[in-house]
Structure 1
């Protein structure tokens, strides 16, 4: 029965750590680094992080230390690559609308990958990477500038990279926790 209570205690600590990890996407939201789509991205990210922690903890607690010493740098490198890719996508596939009077925050929208035919005729050399002044001519409405399909592809691309980056963080966290549990169970020398 003592081993059962030890397991409960370890999982409780893991869950508390997961909830703390949910603070990272919340911070990203308040720093205006989260994707503009979908609504509820912070909650969705937290759920994906929790699932990633559970899966990673399940597999990594059985993993040999020599293997986990290889896995950690791999996840860290993967996270850094995904973070760079995410920041690139966020800066190249989104635009901000200036704050309106009475509003203190500007809004971020996703650009499309393909201009609508009538917009392409007006700005053929600039499509699909229009300037803010060109976007303002269409009242900052993405659907008036880019095709719906291309906006959806850009949204999903940004979203997938965001989620994968946070799942990497979760794998790193769970892997570290699992490794520490393994080390604590080894006989002291």
Structure 2
């Protein structure tokens, strides 16, 4: 438990990462104000976090409000298995991005290693389509650090600790968007 607490406290001292996170938040807010949507993807526990975050945007986090369009690219088993079978697992998110997203939207990838091949391919597709991309990563950010427009690197070495910081970031992102979009 101490390592988890120390990692969260350590993250709050990393001004560069806090600045990147604030830039990412501003981008998501701007995209929502332009009528865009948030698309989220991850693998394993990060896939569950993608679904969790999409639910917070569509339902609510901290206040009653209109729904915000968000989608986890991890939930449609027919799409996932068709793409995985026909094109390979590395393409399961990038094909969905190419088919669903527009330049009004924003992509959020979640990868504790920063090395997930399907997240990296998704980031490449975003870049080709002119879609801004955010990644929540861990350790040193991996290859995702250079591939994303905004890569927020959680402190900590253990996957569980990195994922805990990712969910704090996700909730903070949603709360910031709620305030900015629905503030009276």
Q: TM-score range by the shorter chain?
A: under 0.3
Mark the structure with the bigger radius of gyration. Answer: 1
Considering Cα pairs closer than 8 Å and 6+ residues apart, tell me whether 1 or 2 has the greater RCO.
1
> What TM-score, normalized to structure 2?
0.28
Name whichever structure is richer in strand by fraction. Answer: 2
Bigger proportion of residues as helix: 1
